[in-house]
Every structure is written in structure tokens, then in C-alpha cells.
């Protein structure tokens, strides 16, 4: 019985989070004095106990489905509000797997829509969303246009040269081993400007992120 009450309590928490994030501030969408780089908004799955930085517990299938349904509801609500602003906007759902708790809804309007468009590297081929992980949402997910991207963590070679104030010999050995692995040629890399110097960035794959939305007259891809 206590376990059932705990599950219900978490479901109520998800519902409160959903309702609290359904509405944008419509005045801010039309505020011409607001800097373009501030014309962005997002909502993440900041829900206990799964959203904590140090959390080890993953949401069960039922709660995962409730959270994704809530994200889709937030997207639909924001889509209506952004369309009423009568200016171009970017609005997408970012669905991460296997790191589901990173999933979110993001938007940008006016000239700020480029802020999010190049966040992820497109996958070399489309990968199907694992809809079995979200029982009952297959039809809703099919109503969105999804593009598969790579979820990556970027390591900068210059970071490995920095002295770690709390470092130890074991940590140093681990970092050098990781650097050799990154430089082995099995990971995508590129030269980037970092803190005024050119360094190499390595992309370490973590999974996939599906970027999805609906086509409307004012939305941008």
C-alpha cells in the first residue's frame, strides 16, 4: 500500500509540473525592447527524485509516459500561444534516449530562432523512436515530424592540459587514458576556438535525441 501511495504522489507531482508550465508570457513574445538572445524559453523535466543531478533512480514506464505526455501537452499549448504572436518562432520537443530525463520543450521567437537550430549533430540515418517505452503515446508521437540527432558530450583537448586543483595521480592516469581513447580515431573531432586559442574538440556519443514538432505557417525548422 505505501508503494502505491508513493506512485500516486509522484503522478500528482508530474501533473502539477505540467500545469505550471503550460503557459508562456504573451507580452514577452511581442516585446520589441527585449534582446534577441533573451527571446528563448525552455522547460525541462525538473522532477524529483529523477531530476536531481546526483539521482540514480530512473522513472518507471508509467511515469515516463506521463512525463512525455506532459511535454507534448506543453508543446501544444505553447504552439497556440506562439502562433498568436504572429512572428516566426522555433518550437520543438527534444526527446533524449537513453537519458530520458534530459528531454524538454524549447522555443525561440523572432530572430532568436537560430539559437537552437544547430544544437545537435544530425544522425547519418533516421532511427525510430522506441515507442514501446511510452505505451499509449504511439499515435501522438506519430503526429509529430521527428528528426534523429546525436546526443554527444564534447571534450576539449586543452582541458586535459589544465591542472586540476583537486586532482590525484589516479585521476591524472584516468584522464590521460581517456584522451588516448579520444585520439584513437574512433570519435568525430574538429578544431575549435576555445578561450582565444585553437584546440581540438572530440564528440563522445551518449545516445540519440529526437527533435520533433508540427509544421505551421509561422514555425521555423
Residues in a beta bridge with 154: 203
Q: Do 141 and 129 form a contact (C-beta atoms < 8 A)?
A: yes
Report the pLDDT value the prediction gives residue 4, as an integer from 0 to 100: 58
Percent of the residues in the chain that have a pLDDT greater than 90, as a whole number: 46
- Please give the Cα distance from 190 to 202 (Å, whole number): 7
Single pTM value for the model: 0.85
Average pLDDT over the chain reads 85
Average confidence (pLDDT) over 68-76: 97
Report the pLDDT value the prediction gives residue 6, as an integer from 0 to 100: 66
Please check the confidence at residue 212 and state whether its pLDDT lies above 90: yes
Of 73, 133, 130, 68, nearest to 94 by C-alpha is 68
Per DSSP, the three-state class of 89 is strand
Higher pLDDT, 168 or 43: 43
Average confidence (pLDDT) over 140-153: 96
Average confidence (pLDDT) over 72-89: 90
Domain ranges of the chain: 2-152+207-213, 154-203
Q: What is the DSSP string of 104-172?
A: EEEEEEGGGGHHHHTSSEEPSS-----GGGSTT-HHHHHTSEEEEEEEEEEEEGGGGGSPPTT--HHHH
Amino acid at each position: 500500500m505505501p508503494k502505491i501511495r508513493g506512485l500516486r504522489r509522484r503522478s500528482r507531482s508530474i501533473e502539477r509540473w505540467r500545469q505550471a508550465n503550460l503557459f508562456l508570457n504573451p507580452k514577452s513574445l511581442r516585446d520589441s525592447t527585449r534582446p534577441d538572445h533573451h527571446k528563448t524559453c525552455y522547460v525541462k523535466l525538473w522532477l524529483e527524485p529523477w531530476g536531481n543531478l546526483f539521482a540514480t533512480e530512473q522513472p518507471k514506464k508509467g511515469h515516463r509516459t506521463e512525463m512525455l505526455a506532459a511535454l507534448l501537452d506543453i508543446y501544444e499549448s505553447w504552439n497556440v500561444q506562439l502562433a498568436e504572436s504572429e512572428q516566426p518562432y522555433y518550437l520543438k520537443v527534444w526527446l533524449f534516449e537513453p537519458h530520458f530525463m534530459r528531454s524538454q520543450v524549447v522555443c525561440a521567437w523572432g530572430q532568436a530562432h537560430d539559437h537552437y537550430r544547430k544544437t545537435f549533430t544530425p544522425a547519418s540515418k533516421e532511427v525510430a523512436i522506441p515507442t514501446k517505452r511510452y505505451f499509449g503515446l504511439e499515435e501522438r508521437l506519430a503526429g509529430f515530424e521527428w528528426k534523429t540527432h546525436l546526443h554527444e558530450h564534447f571534450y576539449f583537448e586543452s582541458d586535459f592540459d589544465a591542472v586540476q586543483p583537486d586532482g590525484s595521480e589516479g585521476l591524472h592516469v584516468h584522464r590521460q587514458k581517456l584522451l588516448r581513447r579520444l585520439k584513437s580515431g574512433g570519435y568525430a573531432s574538429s578544431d575549435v576556438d576555445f578561450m582565444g586559442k585553437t584546440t581540438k574538440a572530440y564528440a563522445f556519443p551518449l545516445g540519440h535525441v529526437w527533435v520533433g514538432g508540427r509544421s505551421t505557417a509561422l514555425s521555423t525548422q
